[in-house]
């Protein structure tokens, strides 16, 4: 057993309890007890003690939409005469060229570096949406290899699309099916998957019929971009539907657990379709602002009772950073400084945790007896009191991913005192850089 002592424990439980001079007892992959340090030290004297010296102890962060394959795009020359003018050109001139260039080593090192960076920033669970049309087959296995080496939790999918023609479309469906069947047989609590789809405007009716039938067979939900840019809306209207959600609804894409990503250009009645089918809307504020596509109707979605979570879309691996932007855009969009104080914590610490718990099995995103021991220690010593009413304000204004000191997943210490314990951090960074150079030459 491992006992984390002398910390300020932020539980994120139903009462949002704060335990000052608190301790958390880890037994195997679970939390066995929480309480004041001296009480737990005397009660569990046989436990190994790690004194966190006044730092914050809190649940690990959960990123509900990521693109690890974007790693090598950082600082890359697009080799084009004119920069992208709008979202569709961003896809055509950048991301679709990136994913068509990716080969096996690119996929593996992109995943290893991105997941490792997130781990160092306190991210313990990631929902990744992958595309690599330069190598479709076995691409998810390469990502899963990185997940296993690092010891994090991940939900993986391959982005099925018809944009490259029927042969690669069928390859992507086969990759999705093969990977899901393999991991379902293993019944893992750290690695899962669902069927990934790009977006309505790159999916033909026949493909939607095929993946819907596959989802029925595999008892799978979907992970899909929806109404991210204006193109999705315009394409749906050309097909006779007022919105991408309405079109996809005809093919039973909206089912319990399906993740609808972005939702910037949703039309009247579409929030209700997602809500009534027990789906999740995942917001990615930095990406939306960076691509200049607009802002999702978060307040309306939450008011209607839709489950709304928060991801990063590959823009960053730091969920603390995403929190700050989500808070700002919600206030700015509605011109109301009162917003954000309850909505963003609900998205990050409740809905993300609910989705992760449904996906992996153990109770995640909370520190309480019986919950999974996915825990981070943050080197944050506040000048003001931390209490049950103001934890979000401390996280919002005081904490960033670079302050994470220790990351624990399933009771295993992956990073301690800012030193990664499970892999050679410097070696991976060096090898990733060499692979990125090779990728840039081929791009």
Q: CA-CA distance, 309 to 353, in Å (whole number)?
A: 9
Instruction: Output the pTM of the full model.
Output: 0.97
Say if residues 373 and 29 touch (Cβ distance below 8 Å): yes
> Where are the chain's structural domains?
2-60+366-420, 62-360
For residue 399, the SS3 value is coil
Location of structure tokens 């979000």: 392
Q: CA-CA distance, 106 to 374, in Å (whole number)?
A: 29
For residue 414, the SS3 value is strand
Domain 62-360 belongs in CATH node 3.50.50.60: no
Torsion sign across C-alpha atoms 130, 136, 139, 140: positive
pLDDT at 174: 98
Q: Which residues contact 55 (CB under 8 A, 6 or more apart)?
A: 7, 8, 377, 378, 379, 380, 381, 405
DSSP letter (8 states) at residue 91: I
pLDDT at 68: 97
Could you read off the pLDDT tens digit of each residue along the chain, which spans 443 residues?
999 999 999 999 999 999 999 999 999 999 999 999 999 999 999 999 999 999 999 999 999 999 999 999 999 999 998 999 999 999 999 999 999 999 999 999 999 999 999 999 999 999 999 999 999 999 999 999 999 999 999 999 999 999 999 999 999 999 999 999 999 999 999 999 999 999 999 999 999 999 999 999 999 999 999 999 999 999 999 999 999 999 999 999 999 999 999 999 999 999 999 999 999 999 999 999 999 999 999 999 999 999 999 999 999 999 999 999 999 999 999 999 999 999 999 999 999 999 999 999 999 999 999 999 999 999 999 999 999 999 999 999 999 999 999 999 999 999 999 999 999 999 999 999 999 999 999 99
Q: CA-CA distance, 274 to 229, in Å (whole number)?
A: 18
pLDDT at 293: 96
pLDDT at 113: 98
Say if residues 245 and 267 touch (Cβ distance below 8 Å): yes
List strand residue ranges (DSSP E) for 131-194, in order. 153-160, 191-193
Span 2-60+366-420: which CATH code? 2.30.40.10
pLDDT at 152: 98
Q: CA-CA distance, 326 to 331, in Å (whole number)?
A: 9
For residue 313, the SS3 value is coil
In the numeric block, which tokens belong to residue 188?
């893992």
Beta bridge partners of 61: 123
Give Rg (Cα) of the chain.
21
Q: CA-CA distance, 55 to 235, in Å (whole number)?
A: 51
Whole-Å CA distances, 258 to 121, 130, 172, 232? 27, 16, 19, 18
């Amino acid at each position: 057993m491992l006992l984390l002592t002398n910390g300020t424990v932020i539980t994120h439980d139903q009462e949002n309890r704060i335990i000052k001079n608190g301790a958390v007892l880890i037994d195997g992959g679970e939390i066995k007890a929480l309480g004041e340090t001296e009480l737990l030290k005397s009660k569990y004297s046989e436990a190994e003690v790690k004194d966190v010296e006044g730092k914050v102890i809190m649940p690990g962060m959960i990123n509900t939409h990521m693109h690890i394959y974007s790693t090598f795009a950082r600082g890359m020359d697009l080799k084009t005469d004119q920069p992208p003018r709008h979202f569709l050109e961003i896809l055509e001139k950048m991301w679709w060229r990136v994913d068509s260039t990716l080969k096996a080593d690119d996929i593996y090192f992109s995943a290893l570096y991105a997941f490792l960076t997130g781990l160092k920033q306190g991210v313990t669970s990631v929902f990744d949406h992958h595309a690599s049309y330069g190598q479709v087959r076995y691409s998810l296995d390469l990502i899963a290899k990185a997940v296993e080496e690092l010891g994090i939790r991940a939900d993986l999918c391959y982005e099925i699309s018809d944009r490259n023609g029927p042969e690669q479309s069928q390859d992507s469906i086969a990759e999705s099916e093969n990977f899901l069947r393999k991991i379902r047989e293993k019944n893992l609590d750290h690695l899962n998957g669902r069927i990934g789809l790009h977006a309505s405007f790159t999916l033909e009716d026949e493909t939607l019929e095929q993946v819907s039938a596959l989802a029925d067979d595999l008892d799978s939900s979907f992970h899909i971009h929806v109404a991210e840019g204006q193109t999705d809306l315009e394409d749906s209207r050309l097909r006779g539907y007022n919105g991408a959600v309405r079109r996809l609804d005809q093919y039973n894409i909206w089912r319990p657990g399906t993740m609808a990503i972005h939702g910037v250009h949703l039309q009247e009645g579409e929030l209700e379709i997602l809500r009534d089918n027990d789906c999740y809307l995942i917001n990615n504020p930095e990406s939306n602002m960076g691509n200049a596509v607009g802002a999702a109707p978060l307040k309306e979605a939450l008011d209607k009772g839709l489950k709304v979570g928060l991801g990063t879309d590959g823009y960053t691996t730091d969920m603390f950073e995403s929190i700050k932007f989500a808070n700002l855009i919600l206030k700015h969009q509605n011109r109301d400084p009162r917003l954000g104080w309850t909505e963003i914590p609900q998205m990050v610490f409740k809905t993300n945790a609910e989705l992760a718990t449904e996906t992996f099995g153990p109770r995640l995103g909370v520190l309480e007896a019986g919950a999974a021991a996915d825990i981070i220690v943050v080197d944050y010593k506040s000048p003001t009191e931390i209490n049950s009413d103001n934890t979000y304000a401390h996280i919002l204004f005081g904490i960033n991913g670079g302050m994470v000191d220790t990351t624990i997943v399933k009771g295993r210490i992956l990073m301690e005192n800012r030193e990664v314990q499970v892999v050679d951090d410097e070696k991976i960074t060096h090898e990733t850089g060499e692979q990125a150079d090779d990728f840039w030459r081929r791009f």
